[in-house]
């Protein structure tokens, strides 16, 4: 049986009931060639057919449904989806060439055009080594920003001066009309040649803040689900610590008493390491599973342990929220999802819930008033003092001992501010030129005056925390400034700073100097045809006769 056939016959699943686990047999493992396919190798169709449902589509590169994503990010997603499985499941000595050949034999989808794309073994090897030696692989796989970006090398000094002068005379013209007239002017001035295209002139004018000034008008203005297929169940286990994390929410069976005097159902977020079964973090919340609580718990897990290479969860809305998916991308973490109505694929997590209810909650039965603080304190004590030091039946050792033995493929976690900025959704907004603000979720934010010439601004937001948002560079994604909500009361003090002009202030002409170059050329060409004007002039009205003088 070939590797691909064996991969199709052995989907990654684990039973949620303890008596269905195969004792003493870990089952298929990610480090074996026949099952590496489900992590991104030759058998990617197996993942799409019934095993893990990867966030990074192996035939594409886009992971987040964001049509406005830059080409830089789309290419990084594609390359990371190709070499990502080699990072969270490193090849054994002598196996790298075979796994690279399997990836080179596959066909991939072009991230921008959708055409078929293939990579050679050497190209994939370069991408793999570039990602492996960098702490943030997805950044290492991005397309580099050209050194001439934003410099407009095709705009000569003479052409720039002509654009400024023409804009000073005709600030209400459209970009197209500006370009068409500049083409005519360039015919008589060799210093402006070669004349660049319309898009280049438009970008240059926008970057210089030469926006069209619209004339004021007088009068009132106008304010598919797939069919369920029966599949066999097999146990699995990755062979590296921090290679794969499981996480999910669990609804508690007992209610807790809150400070306002309400009884609420608590929900437990649990995060487990697949290789060691170590609980990376667990915390109870009083609200139903949501993105804010998920990011809050994941960030603590990353800081307590390390950054994992991949995660596996169900298809809940918090797991697929833009903040979660883009945050995992920025941290170079692959996301895998189980099939719908298939909790057995995340069986390790289901077994952990059984232990929580059977041991932890059972020991709290005698507590009459259970609060959220008490529940979280007891949970942390039970995990650190009992669960981590109890011999696991499948491992034959404690989770903590297995975690410390390694081998470990985790990465160091960044600081709290970097994590907070990572788990944000990236959006685009148009800046209001009247007061330099943008609107996000119905709230107006002030943009620093240094960026007042930007027409479109790229922002990163967390929808549960709009106390501040982040302005980023659309080319590199680098942090530029923190935007705060508009404070009208503070702005009422009438204090205003003088603006540093990026270009000399435009002094509007008293009156445009005669006929525009384009119209003058059209009139000359029309006169050169020798045809008479195609209209009949109306004769002047006849003069009334003078009245006769009286005799």
Strand, coil or helix: 458: strand
The mean per-residue pLDDT over the stretch 134-163 comes to 86
> Is 483:440 a contact under the CB 8 Å cutoff?
no
| pLDDT for residue 550 | 54
pTM assigned to the model? 0.68
Region 517-539 average pLDDT = 88
Which overall architecture, per CATH, does domain 157-207 show? Answer: Orthogonal Bundle (1.10)
Give CA–CA dist 441/458, Å, rounded: 15
Query: How do the domains of the chain map onto residue ranges?
Result: 3-12+25-140, 157-207, 245-413, 424-491
Q: Which residue has the higher pLDDT, 27 or 326?
A: 326
3-state secondary structure of 390: coil
pLDDT digits (tens, 9 = 90+) for 482-499: 999 998 888 888 777 777
CB atoms within 10 A of CB 426: 23
**pLDDT-based confidence at residue 218 (cuts at 50, 70, 90):** low
> How does the average pLDDT of the chain come out, rounded?
82
pLDDT of amino acid 113: 86
Q: Where are the beta strands (DSSP E) in 252-298?
A: 256-257, 263-264, 267-273, 279-285
| For the ranges 144-153, 326-335, 537-546, the one whose mean pLDDT is highest | 326-335
- Residue 65's pLDDT is 52
Q: Are the C-beta atoms of 430 and 320 separated by less than 8 Å?
A: no
Which ranges in 386-448 belong to alpha helices (H)?
Answer: 399-405, 416-422
Rounded to 10 degrees, the C-alpha dihedral 247/249/252/253 comes to -100
Residue length, the chain? 551
Q: Residue 283: how many CB atoms within 10 A of its CB?
A: 20
Pairing, β 267-273 against β 245-251: antiparallel
Specify the pLDDT at position 59.
42
What does DSSP say about strands 263-264 and 256-257: parallel, antiparallel, or unpaired? antiparallel
Percent of the chain with pLDDT over 70: 81
Phi, psi of 125 (to 5 degrees): -65, -40
CA distances from 476 to 45, 472, 480 (A): 33, 8, 11
Tell me the average pLDDT across 374-393. 94
**pLDDT computed for residue 354 by the predictor:** 92
**CB 370, CB 294: distance < 8 Å:** no
80 closest CA partner among 38, 121, 34, 130:
130
Domain 245-413 has CATH 3.50.50.60: no
- Among the residue ranges 270-284, 333-347, 403-417, the one predicted with the least confidence is 333-347
Q: Are 196 and 155 in contact (CB under 8 A)?
A: yes
Block residue for tokens 């692959």: 334
Lowest mean pLDDT among 146-155, 280-289, 471-480, 514-523: 146-155
Pairing of β 245-251 and β 479-483: unpaired
| Encoded tokens for 30 | 């990610």
pLDDT category, 226, cuts 50, 70, 90?
very low
Between CA 213 and CA 506 the distance in angstroms is 12
Q: Both tokens of residue 320?
A: 């697929």
Using the Cα atoms of residue 529, residue 532, residue 537 and residue 539 in order, give the sign of their dihedral. Answer: positive
- Residue 456 CB: number of other CB atoms within 10 A? 12
- Give the per-residue pLDDT at 217: 59
Beta carbons within 8 Å of 322's beta carbon, 6+ residues apart? 64, 66, 425, 426
Q: HSE on the CB side for 497, CA within 13 Å? A: 6
Segment among 62-76, 407-421, 425-439 with least mean pLDDT? 62-76
């Amino acid at each position: 049986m070939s590797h691909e056939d064996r991969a199709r016959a052995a989907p990654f699943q684990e039973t949620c009931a303890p008596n269905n686990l195969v004792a003493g047999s870990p089952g298929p493992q990610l480090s074996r060639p026949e099952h590496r396919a489900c992590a991104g190798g030759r058998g990617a169709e197996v993942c799409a057919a019934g095993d893990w449902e990867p966030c990074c589509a192996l035939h594409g590169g886009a992971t987040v449904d964001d049509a406005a994503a830059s080409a830089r990010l789309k290419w990084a997603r594609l390359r990371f989806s190709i070499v990502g499985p080699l990072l969270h499941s490193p090849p054994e000595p002598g196996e790298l060439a075979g796994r690279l050949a399997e990836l080179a034999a596959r066909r991939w989808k072009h991230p921008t055009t959708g055409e078929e794309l293939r990579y050679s073994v050497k190209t994939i090897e370069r991408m793999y080594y570039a990602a492996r030696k960098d702490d943030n692989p997805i950044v290492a796989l991005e397309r580099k920003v050209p050194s001439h970006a934003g410099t407009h090398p095709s705009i000569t000094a003479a052409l720039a001066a002509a654009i400024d002068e023409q804009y000073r005379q005709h600030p209400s013209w459209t970009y197209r009309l500006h370009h068409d007239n500049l083409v005519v002017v360039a015919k008589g001035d060799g210093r402006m040649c070669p004349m660049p295209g319309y898009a280049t002139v438009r970008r240059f004018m926008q970057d210089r803040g030469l926006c069209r000034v619209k004339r004021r008008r007088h009068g009132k203005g106008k304010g598919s689900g797939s069919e369920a297929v029966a599949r066999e169940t097999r146990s699995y286990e990755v062979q590296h610590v921090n290679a794969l994390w499981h996480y999910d929410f669990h609804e508690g069976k007992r209610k807790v008493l809150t400070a306002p005097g309400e009884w609420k159902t608590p929900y437990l977020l649990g995060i487990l390491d697949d290789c060691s079964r170590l609980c990376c973090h667990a915390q109870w919340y009083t609200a139903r599973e949501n993105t804010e609580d998920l990011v809050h718990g994941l960030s603590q897990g990353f800081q307590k342990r390390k950054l994992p290479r991949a995660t596996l969860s169900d298809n809940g809305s918090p797991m697929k929220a833009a903040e979660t998916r883009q945050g995992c991308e920025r941290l170079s973490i692959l996301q895998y999802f189980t099939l719908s109505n298939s909790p057995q694929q995340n069986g390790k997590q289901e077994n952990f819930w059984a232990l929580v209810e059977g041991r932890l909650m059972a020991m709290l039965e005698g507590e009459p008033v259970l609060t959220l603080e008490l529940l979280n304190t007891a949970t942390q004590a039970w995990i650190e003092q009992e669960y981590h030091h109890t011999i696991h039946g499948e491992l034959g050792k404690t989770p903590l001992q297995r975690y410390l033995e390694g081998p470990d493929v985790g990465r160091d976690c960044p600081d709290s501010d970097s994590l907070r900025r990572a788990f944000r959704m990236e959006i685009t907004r148009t800046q209001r030129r009247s007061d330099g603000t943008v609107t996000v979720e119905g709230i107006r934010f002030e943009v620093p005056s240094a960026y007042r010439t930007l027409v479109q601004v790229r922002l990163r937001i967390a929808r549960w925390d709009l106390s501040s948002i982040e302005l980023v560079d659309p080319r590199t994604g680098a942090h530029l400034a923190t935007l705060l909500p508009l404070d009208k009361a503070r702005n009422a003090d009438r204090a205003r700073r003088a603006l540093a002009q990026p270009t000399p202030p435009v002094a509007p002409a008293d009156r445009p100097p005669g006929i525009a170059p384009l119209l003058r050329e059209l009139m000359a060409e029309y006169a050169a045809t020798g045809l008479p004007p195609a209209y009949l002039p109306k004769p002047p009205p006849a003069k009334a006769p003078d009245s006769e003088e009286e005799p």
